[in-house]
Amino acid sequence: MAAEDLPSEFDVIILGTGLCESVVAAACSRVGQRVLHLDRQSYYASNWASFTFNGLLTWIQEQQAESQPDEVQDWSGQVEEGEDLIYLSQSDSSSISNLQVFCYTSEEDEEDDTPNTTEEEKGGGASEATEAADSNKEDEEETEKQEAEEQVAQDEGAEPEADQPCPSADPNQSEPVKKKKISLAQLVKEGRRFNIDLVSKLMYSRGSLVDLLIKSNVSRYAEFKNVSRILTYRQGKVEQVPCSRADVFASRQLSVIEKRKLMRFLTSCVEETEDQQAYNGRPYLEFLSDQQLGENLQHFLLYSIAMATEDTPTEVGLASTRHFLRCLGRYGNTPFLFPVYGLGEIPQCFCRMCAVFGGIYCLRHSVRCLLVDKDTNRCKAVIDSRGQRISCNHFVVEEGYVDAERKQTATPTRCVSRAVLITDGSVLPSDSDQQVSMVTIPPVEAELPSVRMVELCSSTMTCMPGTYLVHLTCQSVGSAYEDLSPLVTRMFHTTESSDQEERPSVLWCLYFNMVDGSGLEVEGHDLPSNMYLCSGPDGALGHDHTIKQAELIFQKILPEEDFCPPAPNPEDIIYDGENGNGNSAEGEELKDDELKDDEEPKEQEEELKEQEEEKEEEQGLESEKGQGLETEE
Amino acid sequence: MHGRVKIKSTAQQEEEKRKEREKKLKIYVAARDACFSKRKDGVWDDEALQLTQQLLSSNPDFATLWNYRREILMHLETVKDEDEVQKIYEAELFFLESCLKVNPKSYGSWHHRGWVSARLPRPDWARELSLCDRCLSLDDRNFHCWDYRRMVVKMSGVPVDKELEFTDRLIGSNFSNYSSWHYRSTLLPLLHPESPEPPSPSREPPQSSPPPSPQTHSHRVCEEQLLKEYELVQNAFFTDPNDQSAWFYYRWLLGRAEREEMISCVYVSRDEERVAVAFSRPVNAQSVGLLLVLDGQPQRVEWRSVHPRFKHSPVWICDLPPGTISDITNEHNLTVHWTEKPTHRDCALYTGRNESWCRDSATDQELFRSELSVEKTSVLQSELQSCNQLQELEPLNKWCLLTIILLMRALDPLGYEKETLAHFQTLKEVDSMRSAYYSDLCSKFMIENTILKMEYAEVRVFSISDKNLTTLCHLDQLLLVTHINLSSNQLQRLPPQFAMLQCLEVLEADNNSIESLEGVYHLPKLEEILLRNNKISTLADLQPLASCPKLKRLDLRGNPITQTSSIESQLAELLPSVTELLL
């Protein structure tokens, strides 16, 4: 452990490196506040993080491990007169639950075996489940629901509660073609090519996150790709949703009359009319069906463009339709952007901005307790995990660090169900195998929620070539497995699905629930007045909730200051001799970045590697930015 | 507040930038002068290449420097071996690419690239094509790039079907780009030409003259492909009916026929000893090799157009030598040969007849449908149906309305006359900026319809009163008309083309706004002109009438000119033949 002590005084101490905390950190640091930014984890971005495949396996292990209660240390020695102690919670595993892992590919590389020999090889942990699936094969559609339920029962019983990625049935058994599945060993070997997000969101091209990235110049730290198409799942089939002018023109599933009606509707709903107001409070679906659009268009407009449900009121549906349309065409034919290397990049970019302007970073470093002035109810200082007392004017913290009794949250706790799939093909193959697709899926069964699916290709640098990374997200009804596995079974080929169609195979998948950050109330917490709670990721597609929250917190801390004004160009910054080396080094770093930004998105493998290395360098530099103060084990 | 990052002030930045600019300018001017003096001295060395490269990379539109560069390169070609030349030119292409990044629309850079590509010993056309593709993906309307691409395609012999796929791709990504549509229209006839008609006796045109088919099939596309194109273009205009690219392409698809060139009418008049010939398109009779044979004897005659304003005209006249046909008891056979084509037309003037003509009884198709191709009626009908569907959804879309009008005309101009007029009315309202254009177009269609009716009735009277005409056209079709009634329209002039009405005896044009009578010129048979309530205001306006020898009756009531003092005597002097003058 580096024994160097931190400075004993800061303007703002921020605990947790999620998006909200990171934005607040960048905003404060940018206007000259001395910021100390801590995270008890060894990685950035808390529940917003992206992991390599191996990193994710480690994270899974950590989640499954019993969190040992910290021995409560007595910090009363550090308490001065008139101060109270508030202890922070030392484990944050409560935000993740119902974690389940399934592996549908073989563990090791297979030798050149022929399908004939497979019977013998069959075996392993999930074989029972496989057999169950096989025996059900004939029953098809009618029994699919029961089957799924049966599966759940099976899994709960037979699955050893999914500790490790488990060996599965031989894939060749159900797939007599030569195409060889990528084995688990290969996934692990190529694990560094994955950047698997815990949260699945997209950036609206005119959303508050994009606006902030541009306004603050933080965008220069990252690269983005357009989501290249919007898909939907309807009547058992994946279809492309025509949303831009070019899509509508090219669409083969719409008649020319439908094309005209759709374009007309999209043009007309940009402006609010009295006609629309008459539907306020009534379902959007009703409004749509009164426009005589036909079933096709109604489906596209309701589920894919407004991303609404059947009960969504008209004004909400129209507002989100408008937002969708406003975002179209700014960067491409869909309204969405996705950061190359995954969403976990975004909080890191803000951290980087904070560090450039002098913020200090320590990972694996937490705060044990707060010292609160009894009279003013203000947090005067914190005691960090090394027992150092550090005073501060403001304390910003991710809600996971705060005991449940002290905060106001919506009850019952809202959760998001998540599934992460590594597959070997796209749900809608097209000319290009490098599509980034957003798929809107209405409830496939009556009890189930509607699901949002994002399918990422390897050029987003989130998965290895030859695979796709699929994120499924919905508001939880039951556990993630209960909510999402019926859909996975239908849309993909797993050992559980009755397979006769050409569907992409799932190689590996993970289910978990995460607490929905939008459940945190704005007011009413039992906390010191200069302490601010940041919520974790919410269930919505965009980032508006988080960015708004960050701006609010910033305004409470510094009501007079501008929120994330544009960062100056590196050549315009004046460096004085005194604080020379630290800052000037960062200036150079900025320049490096700019050069990097100029490069075109890589396509060739060689270049890919280069960039990966670059990325590692960056991360290396970033820890230096913490001026060697980051604790190391 | 402490710790804030210090930033240079705007003034500081400005000053720095100014100095930077000054420095740059100095270097630039020095390099330019060096180049000029080197060129003057005829120096073609590597240093000159370097210098021009520096200058051109900051200003690629400096044509003189490109020229100098080409001089140097041509010189190098003579002193280096092929591999070296290849290298030099490859470097040149690389340099040009950087210039295009700075300014993708520089004339100089693109021209030079074309020049280099053509001289490159071993050109890599695939690379050039991909460069064009990249460029067009950034700006699909960069016509420099389109031009260059055409050259690359030509030089490298890219197959037409690949090019058609290329337009598929471009149209798919942006169907508002007319460049892609237009390019497509040049490719289709090459790739899917209309299959040549089988020489079956029933369809083969009779060898006798004149050939009946007014159509040629030069730019036509086969039916099967056409149907696909209709579908494609419909997708575009249903998606965005306000985008004109698709509509223009659609118009091209619907109409590609050209009228065949031929002599459409020969007219001979015994009284005037004159022959008039009408052609299917304006020609210059003096240079196309017209030969007049009378009773087996080639005649030396002088062809003149109906009005001195026309060098090209669809109607030409000539006077026969005096006395050749004046004897009414003689029968004469007349043949006009168009030696250039070659084609000819005969005409017989029988005993006891004062005049005679020979022409085809024109049908509507032959006369006016050439604007739209003679597709199968069923195809046009279904196109009209889809346009009507669109019009139902978009009742005020001008492109749709206009296309419907054209389709209706192609299908049944008389049957759809009422609908056509109603659509024109809507068009004038929704697109008032172009209302005059629509009025003229509507006039044209009304005249066509009236000509058709006249043809069916087989009369020589052309009556089109009270139809809101704003312009006159197709006057070559009225060569034989003796009586024309244009009353109660909005005509402002009788244009020079009016002189084609060589047989006209009575002209009725009351209640218009006519100011000019330029076309009432040398009409040999004209006897009566009715011009009540027009805008004839000066004696000069009436000057052309003096050339009509038989004019007897002139009605000018309700014209400003009647207010002029002593107008009567001036008119008597100008038009001595007029015996009945109404003022």
CATH number, domain of B568, equals 3.80.10.10
Instruction: Please name the residue of chain A whose CA is at the shortest distance from the CA of residue B243.
Output: A245
On average, the pLDDT of chain B sits at 88
> Please, are residues A122 and A115 in contact by the beta-carbon 8 Å criterion?
no
Q: Determine the pLDDT at residue A446.
A: 81
Q: Determine the pLDDT at residue A163.
A: 42
Residue B539 included in any domain? yes
Residues B306 and B395 in one domain: no
Which of B2, B175, B394 lies closest to A32 in CB terms?
B2
Q: Which residues of A442-459 are buried (b: 16+ CB within 10 A; e: fewer)?
A: bbbeeebbbbbbbbbbbb
Tens of pLDDT, residues A214-273: 999 999 999 999 999 999 998 889 999 998 888 899 888 889 999 999 999 998 888 888
Query: Considering only CB atoms, which chain A residues are within 8 Å of B386?
Result: 256
With residue A51 as reference, give the H or E element that holds it: strand A50-51
Measured between its terminal Cα atoms, the distance across chain A in Å is 5
Measured between its terminal Cα atoms, the distance across chain B in Å is 97
Interface test mutation site (partner A, options B101, B235, B388, B392, max chain A beta carbons within 10 A) = B235
Give the contacts of A573 (CB within 8 A, at least 6 positions apart).
A583, A587, B5, B6, B7, B8
With residue B298 as reference, give the H or E element that holds it: strand B297-299
Query: Considering only CB atoms, which chain B residues are within 8 Å of A257?
Result: 238, 389, 393
For the domain that residue B293 is a member of, what is the CATH number? 2.60.40.1130
Look at the block and give the residue holding tokens 């520089």.
Answer: B106
Q: What is d(CA B109, CA B63) in angstroms, rounded to the nearest whole number?
A: 9
> Please, are residues B273 and B325 in contact by the beta-carbon 8 Å criterion?
yes
The minimum CA-CA distance between B10 and chain A, rounded to whole Å, is: 10
Does B4 sit within 8 Å of A31, measured CB to CB? yes
Q: Determine the pLDDT at residue B548.
A: 95
Tens of pLDDT, residues B204-241: 343 433 333 333 445 677 878 888 998 999 999 999 99
The least confident of A88-97, A396-405, A518-527 is: A88-97
Residues B298 and B278 in one domain: yes
Q: What is d(CA B235, CA B250) in angstroms, rounded to the nearest whole number?
A: 11
> Please, are residues A469 and A187 in contact by the beta-carbon 8 Å criterion?
no
Q: Indicate if the pLDDT at residue A574 is higher than 90.
A: no
Q: Indicate if the pLDDT at residue B87 is higher than 90.
A: yes
> Please, are residues B462 and B443 in contact by the beta-carbon 8 Å criterion?
no
Does B7 sit within 8 Å of A246, measured CB to CB? no
> Which bin fits A162, alpha (ψ -120 to 50), beta or left (φ > 0)?
left
For the domain that residue B369 is a member of, what is the CATH number? 1.25.40.120
When pLDDT is averaged across residues A621-628 and rounded to a whole number, the result is: 29
Residue B259 included in any domain? no
Q: Determine the pLDDT at residue A408.
A: 82
Residues B419 and B482 in one domain: no
Residues B231 and B307 in one domain: no
Query: Considering only CB atoms, which chain B residues are within 8 Å of A568?
Result: 5, 7
Q: Determine the pLDDT at residue A114.
A: 39
The least confident of A158-162, A195-199, B68-72 is: A158-162
Single out the residue in B427, B455, B483 at which a domain terminates.
B455
Neighbours of B47 (CB within 10 A): 12
Q: Determine the pLDDT at residue B559.
A: 95
Residue B174 included in any domain? no
Which of B2, B172, B238 lies closest to A256 in CB terms?
B238
Residue B211 included in any domain? no
Residues B515 and B469 in one domain: yes
The residues pairing with A510 across neighbouring beta strands, listed in sequence order, are: A101, A420
Residue B466 included in any domain? yes
Residue B376 included in any domain? yes
Which of A32, A249, A358 lies closest to B1 in CB terms?
A32
Residue B168 included in any domain? no
Residues B250 and B397 in one domain: yes
Task: Give the residue numbers spanning the domain of B353.
Answer: 265-358
What's the whole-model pTM score? 0.77
Query: Considering only CB atoms, which chain B residues are within 8 Å of A32?
Result: 1-5
Q: What is d(CA A46, CA A533) in angstroms, rounded to the nearest whole number?
A: 14
The least confident of A245-254, A587-596, B137-146, B520-529 is: A587-596
ipTM of the modeled complex: 0.77
Residues B370 and B423 in one domain: yes
Single out the residue in B358, B386, B408 at which a domain terminates.
B358
Tell me the pLDDT band of B4, cut-offs 50, 70 and 90: low
Q: What is d(CA A518, CA A515) in angstroms, rounded to the nearest whole number?
A: 9
Q: What is d(CA B539, CA B556) in angstroms, rounded to the nearest whole number?
A: 12
The minimum CA-CA distance between B498 and chain A, rounded to whole Å, is: 47
Residues B446 and B464 in one domain: no
Which of B1, B6, B235 lies closest to A249 in CB terms?
B235
Query: Considering only CB atoms, which chain A residues are within 8 Å of B4?
Result: 31-32
Query: Considering only CB atoms, which chain B residues are within 8 Å of A246?
Result: 172-175
Tens of pLDDT, residues B536-578: 999 999 999 999 999 999 999 999 999 998 999 999 999 999 9
Neighbours of A81 (CB within 10 A): 5
Which is higher by pLDDT, A627 or B440? Answer: B440
With residue B426 as reference, give the H or E element that holds it: helix B417-430
Residue B513 included in any domain? yes
Q: Which residues of A touch B (CB under 8 A)?
A: 31-34, 245-246, 248-250, 256-257, 259-261, 263-264, 357-358, 568, 572-574, 576
Handedness of CA B2, B4, B7, B10 (dihedral sign): negative
Residues B412 and B530 in one domain: no
Tell me the pLDDT band of A136, cut-offs 50, 70 and 90: very low
Q: Determine the pLDDT at residue A92.
A: 61
Residues B465 and B578 in one domain: yes
Single out the residue in B455, B487, B513 at which a domain terminates.
B455
Q: What is d(CA B407, CA B377) in angstroms, rounded to the nearest whole number?
A: 10
Amino acid code (one letter) for B131 = L
State how beta strands A573-574 and A531-534 pair. unpaired
- B184 CB burial (10 A radius; 0-12, 13-18, 19+): buried
Residues B354 and B500 in one domain: no
Domain count along chain B: 4
Q: What is the 3-state secondary structure (H, E, C) of A208-237?
A: HHHHHHHHHCHHHHCCEEECCEEEEEECCE
Residues B138 and B236 in one domain: no
